[in-house]
Amino acid sequence: MAATPQFNEDLYKPLAELDPVVQNIIDKETWRQFTGLELIASENLTSRAVMEATGSILTNKYSEGQPGARYYGGNEWIDELEILTQQRALKAFNLDPAKWGVNVQPYSGSTANFAAYTALVDPQDRIMGLGLPDGGHLTHGFYTAKKKISASSIYFQSLPYGLDPSTQLIDYKFVHSQAQLFKPRLIICGASAYPRDWDYASLKKTCESQGAWLLADIAHTSGLVATGEQSSPFEYCDVVTTTTHKTLRGPRAGMIFFRKDLENAKDLERRVNEAVFPACQGGPHNNTIAGIATALLQAASPSFKTYAKQVIANAKAIADELVKHGYTLQTKGTDNHLILWDLRPNGLTGSKVEKVCDLVGITINKNAVSGDKSAQTPGGIRLGTSAITSRNLVESDARIVASFLHRAVQLTLALQKESGSKLVKDLVKVALDEKSEGSKGVKELRKDVGAFAMKWPLPGVDTANLKKPAGIDED
Ligand code: PLP
């Protein structure tokens, strides 16, 4: 073998040797994931195999275009990979390749959505999606009175629909009547924070009455849809977008499924593909596409079905336990992987509980709940069970997780009282003050959460030999 030229020496060194600073950050994050409980509903723990694929040499290759029609040479194996990924995507969702096609190139869910809108409607056309404060995603047309926030409201005219305030469920009748007035060209369904399933048939009727497209963004639930645990949008929708890293448990990316059997839109396939590239993106990230392929192989396995069922069972167990403690959940429970917990009856904001949970090793996020007045200080938190299920927790363990959450909320109330202030920063000051009563509670809970979390495996990590890295100063 030829000797490595001197000037390229760095290319052959392992990360830990070449860049110990970045290695240490990775080690600290690994430790955080191992010693904590991950309850962010949009996150999951992908497999070792997916991480190997995304960390592979495929990152080196440019492949703008479609399989067989690239703008660069050398794409023989990349073509094979992309076609395989497309086939696996259709198979995972039980789709007939004569009726559905898929683009697996989107870098993320946001780009997938924008590309799908680009394919379906013209600039400044009217779109409707679930409002962000009611659980929709930014990319479903979000804007405020002062600002058009998302590109989906900058480049399109957007009218959000919402929840029935009495049930906190999607108000399909209201969507229908709004659509008669607004006359959208596209209705988007799917959500980031909605604990119930969707009535796609009802939305299809509304779309038919207006000649509008129906797009489902199943980013959150795609792993549950693939396994039949949530209803399938494919029977009713024209286009379905998804991320690949939430319940589906793949790498961070997106996909766009499009119908191929529409009388009035023979060219939908071309429009979607051209919207992804060259309209919205450049070269596909082939290492990520390999990760998607591997995740889709896993998603078609019987064990993935067991995992998906368990994700929902764990969410129901946590919801059940929280209700027993007297807490208020939006829609009173859940049918999927997530729980929306309304903390307003307890006199707390989501930001405070998120902060205290962070201090004790439970990762959650503050979230708007129906009727919230301010987006800055939302009255609730969102919990999800995908990641803990990927660490093998079952219902009895999920109930222990709920008991930690109960303690965290009680601790937040005690810290708020001790600080004598309503401000998050004052509460944190007390929590970190060694002499305070509250700081003892924080330490105790952190210890209990850590001891519990470290009993479980972490995909892709040899936890038996994991050492606390430099820079972690907790006991
Ligand atoms: N769509 C929905 C429903 C989401 O919840 C999210 C992210 O949480 C996205 C799209 C955007 O995905 P990404 O963060 O990959 O752009």
Catalytic residue among 27, 38, 217, 354: 217
pTM of the complete model beyond 0.75: yes
Q: Is residue 2 part of a domain?
A: no
Q: How far apart are CA 111 and CA 276, in angstroms?
A: 8
Question: If you average pLDDT over residues 298-308, what whole number do you get?
Answer: 97
pLDDT at residue 264 is higher than 80: no
Instruction: Look at residues 191, 217, 224, 188 and name the one whose alpha carbon lies nearest to residue 108.
Output: 217
Residue 243 a catalytic site member: yes
Mean pLDDT value of segment 231-249: 98
Atom of ligand 1 nearest to the CA of 253: 15
pLDDT category of residue 376 using cuts at 50, 70 and 90: confident
Residue 30 a catalytic site member: no
Domain contains 258: yes
Residue with tokens 């990641």: 387
Name the strands in the sheet holding 254-259, side by side, starting at the edge strand that comes first in the sequence. 100-103, 254-259, 239-243, 213-217, 186-189, 126-130, 157-161
Q: Which of 42, 188, 218, 280 to mutate to test the pocket of ligand 1 (most atoms within 8 A of CB)?
A: 42
Complete DSSP assignment for 111-138: HHHHHHHHHHS-TT-EEEEE-GGGT--G
Last residue of a domain, one of 266, 299, 332: 299
Domain boundary among 277, 299, 321: 299
Structural domain containing residue 363: 306-461
Q: How far apart are CA 295 and CA 53, in angstroms?
A: 10
Q: Do 294 and 316 have their domain in common?
A: no
Q: Has 429 been annotated as catalytic?
A: no
Predicted local confidence at residue 115, as pLDDT: 98
pLDDT band at 374 (very low <50, low <70, confident <90, very high): confident
> Given this model, what pLDDT does residue 121 score?
98
354-362: average pLDDT: 97
Q: One of 185, 196, 204, 246 is an active-site residue; which one?
A: 246
Torsion (CA) 68, 71, 76, 77 in degrees, nearest 10: -110
- In the predicted model, what is the mean pLDDT of residues 142-150? 94
Q: Where residue 359 falls among pLDDT bands split at 50, 70, 90?
A: very high
Question: Catalytic residue among 19, 43, 64, 448, which?
Answer: 64
Q: What is the pLDDT, as a whole number, of residue 339? A: 98
pLDDT average, residue stretch 360-389: 93
Q: Quote the DSSP letter at residue 11.
A: G
Cβ–Cβ < 8 Å for 227, 303: no
Same domain, yes or no, for 64 and 183? yes
219 alpha carbon – ligand 1 mean position (Å)? 6
Domain tally, the chain: 2
Is residue 245 over pLDDT 90?
yes
- CATH number, domain of 150, equals 3.40.640.10
Whether 317 and 293 share a structural domain? no
* Residue 475 confidence class, pLDDT cut points 50, 70, 90: low
Say yes or no: 194 and 327 in one domain. no
Say yes or no: 126 and 95 in one domain: yes
Instruction: Compute the mean pLDDT over every residue in the chain, rounded to the nearest whole number.
Output: 96
Note whether residue 176 is domain-resident.
yes
Task: Report whether pLDDT(18) > 70.
Answer: yes
| Residue 62 designated active-site | yes
Q: If pLDDT is split at 50, 70 and 90, which confidence band does 6 have?
A: confident
Claim to verify: residue 274 and residue 353 sit in the same structural domain: no
219 lines ligand 1 (CB under 6 A): yes
3-state per-residue secondary structure call for 386-453? HHHHHCCCCHHHHHHHHHHHHHHHHHHHHHHHHHCCCCHHHHHHHHHCCCCHHHHHHHHHHHHHHHHH
Would you say the CB of residue 109 lies under 6 angstroms from ligand 1?
A: yes
pLDDT computed for residue 188 by the predictor:
98
Predicted pLDDT at 371? 86
For residue 370, what pLDDT is reported?
87
**Interval 459-470 mean pLDDT:** 96
Residues 369 and 291 in one domain: no
DSSP 314-326: HHHHHHHHHHHTT
Condensed to tens digits (0 to 9), the pLDDT of residues 430-444 reads 999 999 999 999 999
Separation CA 203–CA 192 (nearest Å): 18
Indicate whether 239 pLDDT > 80.
yes
Q: Kindly state the percentage of the chain with pLDDT values over 70.
A: 98
Contacts for 196 with CB less than 8 Å, ≥ 6 apart = 169, 170, 331, 334, 335, 336
**If you measure from the C-alpha of residue 192 to the centroid of ligand 1, how many angstroms do you get, rounded to a whole number?**
7
Q: What is the pLDDT of residue 2?
A: 67
280 and 314 within one domain: no
Which tens digit of pLDDT belongs to each residue from 176-217? 999 999 999 999 999 999 999 999 999 999 999 999 999 999
> In this predicted structure, what is the pLDDT of residue 1?
62
Could you give the count of Cα atoms lying within 13 Å of 429 in the half-sphere of its Cβ?
A: 10
217 is annotated as an active-site residue: yes
Reference 58, options 72, 85, 77, 83; nearest CA is 77
For residues 387 and 187, give the distance between their C-alpha atoms in angstroms, rounded to a whole number: 31
pLDDT classification of 426: cutoffs 50, 70, 90: very high
Query: How sure is the predictor about 4, in pLDDT bands with cuts at 50, 70 and 90?
Result: low
**Least confident span in 236-245, 372-381, 401-410:** 372-381
Annotation marks residue 455 as catalytic: no
Residue 22 in any domain: the answer is no
Q: Based on the fold, state whether residues 295 and 310 are members of the same structural domain.
A: no
Atom of ligand 1 nearest to the CA of 136: 3
**For the residues 276-289, what does the mean pLDDT come to?**
98
State mean pLDDT over 223-242: 98
Asked if the structure places residue 472 within a domain, the reply is no
Distance between CA atoms of residues 133 and 136, nearest Å: 7
Tens of pLDDT, residue by residue over 19-68, are 999 999 999 999 999 999 999 999 999 999 999 999 999 999 999 999 99
C-alpha of residue 315 to centroid of ligand 1, in Å: 20
Q: Which of 243, 265, 299 is the last residue of a domain?
A: 299
User: Does residue 362 sit in the same domain as residue 233?
Assistant: no
Let me know if residue 109 belongs to a domain: yes
Same domain, 109 and 246: yes
The pLDDT of residue 272: 98
| pLDDT tens digits along 96-117 | 999 999 999 999 999 999 999 9
Tell me, in angstroms, the distance from the centre of ligand 1 to residue 231's CA.
19
Q: Are 284 and 425 members of one domain?
A: no
Q: Is residue 29 part of a domain?
A: no
Residue 35 in domain: no
The CATH number that applies at residue 426 is: 3.90.1150.10
What is the arithmetic mean of pLDDT over 302-323?
98
